[in-house]
Structure 1
Amino acid sequence: MEKYLKHKLVDLFLKVYTRKADFTQSRIEFNKLEEKKFSNIIIYSTTALGDFLMNTPAIHSIRNRFKDAFITLICHQNFKSFLENGVDWDRVITWNNKINNVPRLLKEIKESGTPDIAIILHSHNPYDYLSAIMSGAKFIFRDNYSKNELIEKWLTNYVDEYTGHIIQRKLELIKPLGCETASKSCIEMRVPCHVNSIKKDHLSIGFQMGASSSERCWPVRNFVQVASYILHNDNTTQIVLVGSPNDIQLQQEFIKLLPGEFHSRVNQLVGKTTLVELTQTINELDLLVTGDTGPMHIAIALKVPTVSLFVTAAPFATGPYQDPELHKVILGSIMSLNKKIHIMDVISSDMVISEINKVLRVRYK
């Protein structure tokens, strides 16, 4: 009910603010344009890291279509330093998705002039399209994840029902702009920061043990079993633990359970890297074992092989979409007979070890 009231209040406000009942006239105006030429574009991607990375193919396609446009990227405040040197936009503005920060957001948007079009790839409604309209943008494109007439009436174009990968979903949204959406390169994710290539004399296998929720975390003891197998069978391979400060307890548990003889071959980086440093670290890996996480998407964008673990998430929508030869997806099933165990325990250590061996054999044959 609270969400509905927010939408209703925004709807009433916009009727007064725009002196219109809706924004649907913009669809007619958009279709009448002989040439789709926009010189000032704002793009919203204000949610999680993985969401942003899956938006990068669409953002890159927009940049290629409107090479001379001034593009402003509106992002989550945690990612500004990670994004500020990106080549597919000219300016980065942060926003926390809150109504109380809309005035500041509008002021910063208008410092670069009135936008011609707002493209909302992933953000929180109703304040995203509210701010987009208040910015003066004539056309509003938004990816909706469910039907809502109170939102749709204020949009020029939107996607709400789509079965497929999120990357392709974003490309479908921008297709009417004349953006390239069909070539193989169109689906490739990109990292906005520079990474260096380095030479090593050993294999580095990364573990991302944390995830957005506990039900998406493969149990630490299973990671320990995989690490023990790897380190026992090759005396030069190193394990690299990556993750956010929220994952430090998982790292501590991992070290506690891992036999002491292997501790010197584990690089404990959980909570110690910025996003830029994390990207460089992942670029130096030979393989990343992970759930459905932001680091998984960084690895995919960098063309670093992955073994990814899915049970509650849907790999057809959020898993690896490019370079299938580099990525192994393990999909576990939820069944009544295993409801008393941790939901991710349906994926065994042996299954992961098998897929790791397959990836490494292909890469180093």
Structure 2
Amino acid sequence: MSKKFKHKLVNLFLRLYTRRRDFSHSVTAFKQLETIDFRNIVIYSTTALGDFLMNTPAIHEVRKRFPDARITVVAGNKMAAYIRTGIGKDWDDVVCWNSKVNTVTKLVRDLKAHGTPDLILIMHSHNPYDYLSAVMTGAPFVFRCNHPASPCSLIEPWLTNYNGPGHRHAIQSRLDLIAPLQCQFTGKSIEMRVPCEVTAEPSPWHNVGFQMGASSEERCWPVSYFVQLATALMSADDKIRITLFGAPGEVYLSEQFMTLLPAGFHHRTESLIGKTSMTELTQAVNNIDVLVTGDTGTMHIAIALKVRTVSLFVSAAAHATGPYQDPSLHRVISGFTSPLLTPPGNHEMTAISTDRVITAVQDALADVYPDTRTP
């Protein structure tokens, strides 16, 4: 069944379910509110780690604006346990949902367990069943971040407020979405937050982290390039130690890396790929000085923790999902592909040379350890 056809079925169902042609009455009702004082707020964030972390600035602003409200986060199966570590801070409960149509009825029941929501904010989720379930709860107001791939003409009639694609960062897009709630934004409003607590653990090493995997293969810098980077860094500084991060499905990257890395550097390299929960990954990232990464959830953890990053972007758009806070801590290296510059068959991330990354990492380490800076 095509995506567009699903939206058409949802549109027909909602017309029958609500006995209305659309949700336009909610726009009028919101504009007529004398005071905005919501007590039961639901926030959808059902996708990946990076998406959730980019939602946290807006979630924090909602908590500041409505300190006494009950805030529930709807999370995907993989993210629910991690988000639950933050209960009691910016949210009070987490409801797990797999984004499938056959679980919409249960989700609606779960969201109404504490009464009908006053407001639903869909910050990042899979359509069309996200806004379908939101409207079915009976919530009078539904806000949603729409994205370029969404069939907006079919979604927008069922929303009180929405923002579409634009040339702005994903964090700013979420903040723009909640602006009508009269939130008072400051310079700190763009800062991401991890849900779990972390501690500072001293180390005699200069710790560099590598996140070699990514959400798609075209966003992965070649393993051989990471090996060249590690070899150059550890050859130049005997205090440097490398930590490899990644998901269980990325263990093969660790195996390839260790096979190619000169044996003399193995004792200064530790692989945590596939060995950590998200909470443990967060603590491990907090222990490093610099992270080298593509556009990944691990990158967003580092940014949230104010750990320096060297991030690599070719097909991904740094202006939309790259570092948005603390620009002095982050070095973004962009590359581009061209039939004249990229030989046929080469991986597009080879557009970023190892020399550029070596220099960026060494500069970042020199910011942490000024005594290592080359005169």
Do both proteins adopt the same fold according to a TM-score greater than 0.5, normalized to the shorter chain? yes
Q: Which residue of 2 aligns with 1:219?
A: 222
Look up the SS of the partner of 1:77 in the other structure: coil
Aligned pairs for 1:110-149 (under 5 A) are: 110-146=112-148, 148-149=152-153
Amino acid at match of 1:342: H
Q: For residues 57-94 of structure 1, what are the alpha-carbon distances to aligned partners after superposition, in whole Å with 9 as ceiling and x for unaligned? A: 00000000000000000011111221113110000011
Q: Which residue identity does 1:13 align to in structure 2?
A: F
Give the AA of the match of 1:361.
A
Letter in 2 for 1:200: S
How many Å separate the matches in 2 of 1:307 and 1:272?
Answer: 23
Instruction: Work out the CA distance in 1 between the residues paired with 2:322 and 2:272.
Output: 24
Distance 2:343 2:29 in 1: 54
Which segment drifts farther, 233-242 or 209-218? 233-242
1:153 equivalent to 2:157? Answer yes
Q: In the TM superposition, what is the alpha-carbon distance from 1:364 to its structure 2 partner?
A: 2.1
Give the 3-state SS of the residue equivalent to 2:79 in structure 1: helix
Q: In the comparison of the two structures, how many residue pairs are matched?
A: 364
Distance in 1 between the 2:320 and 2:184 partners? 21
Cα distance in 2 between the residues matched to 1:88 and 1:98: 26
- Output the amino acid matched with 1:56: T
Displacement after TM superposition at 1:362 (Å)? 2.0
Over 3 Å off, 4+ runs: none
TM-score relative to the length of structure 1: 0.98
Question: What's the CA shift for 1:246?
Answer: 1.3
- How far apart are the structure 2 equivalents of 1:148 and 1:72? 26
Instruction: Tell me, in whole angstroms, the C-alpha distance in 1 between the residues paired with 2:5 and 2:229.
Output: 50
Letter in 1 for 2:210: F
Does residue 178 of the first structure (1) align with residue 182 of the second (2)?
A: yes
Aligned to 1:82: 82
Question: For 1:172 and 1:103, how far apart are their aligned partners in 2?
Answer: 30
Distance between the aligned counterparts of 1:39 and 1:45, measured in 2? 19
1:41-72: CA deviations, max 9, x gaps? Answer: 00000011111100000000000000000000
Q: For residues 353 and 150 of structure 1, what CA distance do their matches in structure 2 show?
A: 48
Letter in 1 for 2:126: H
1:109 paired to 2:111: yes
Distance in 1 of aligned mates of 2:59 and 2:253? 35
CA distance in 2 between counterparts of 1:352 and 1:63 reads 39
Q: Does 1:354 align with 2:364?
A: no
Q: Which residue does the alignment assign to 1:252?
A: 255
1:28 equivalent in alignment to 2:55: no
Aligned to 2:78, the other structure's residue is in SS state helix
157, 167, 170: which one aligns with 1:166:
170
Aligned AA for 1:237? I
> Alpha-carbon deviation of 1:339?
4.5
Once the two structures are superposed, the pairs formed by residues 1-365 of structure 1 within 5 Å of their partners are: 2-86=2-86, 87-146=89-148, 148-181=152-185, 183-337=186-340, 338-340=342-344, 341-365=346-370
Q: Which runs of 5+ in 1 are unaligned?
A: none
Counterpart contact for 2:61–2:189, Cα < 8 Å: yes
1:163, 1:222 → 2: CA distance? 31
> Identity, % of aligned pairs?
54
Deviation at 1:163, TM superposition (A): 1.3
